[in-house]
Amino acid sequence: MIVHLLGALVGLACFWGVFLFITSLPSVLVIFLGRHRAQWRLWELSAFVLPYWTWAVCNLIDCSGKSLSNVAAELAWLAIAVPAAAIIRIAVGPRKWRWHLSAVLIGALCCLAICLWAFVPPLPE
């Protein structure tokens, strides 16, 4: 049981590395182009951590016959959503409630991760 769990965690950590690479490329470009419009805080980097690990914990709890096709499809949607959240954050710009919006966007990304896990049916390999 413990060996299986450790193997799963190592696999999920590898997928997280790929997720970070794929997500960071467009996000860095978006953040760089919008750097004068929005001020960023260090805690907003949790948008790269929390949604993925929310999805990963859901998969550890119950993967219900899901395959690697599910991993690819679900993480692709999640990887598209992270830069989209950065675009929304930049569009709002330097307003008074921008930090609240960042927290709401990160929460929405986590909710999207749960919805992807819950509503994407098992795909064929």
Q: How many helices (H) and strands (E) does the chain have?
A: 4, 0
Q: What does the block give as tokens for 119?
A: 């509503």
Among 77, 56, 43, 46, which Cα is nearest to 9's? Answer: 56
**What pLDDT digit, counting tens, does each position of 20-76 carry?**
999 999 999 998 998 888 888 899 999 999 999 999 999 888 877 888 899 999 999
**Amino acid at site 66:** K
Distance from C-alpha of 100 to C-alpha of 108, rounded to nearest angstrom: 12
Among 76, 72, 77, which Cα is nearest to 112's? Answer: 77
Give me the phi and psi of 75, to 5 degrees please.
Answer: -70, -30
Structure-token match 């016959």, residue found: 65
Residue 96: pLDDT over 90? no
Distance from C-alpha of 66 to C-alpha of 63, rounded to nearest angstrom: 6
Better pLDDT: 38 or 113: 113
Least confident of 16-25, 80-89, 97-106: 97-106
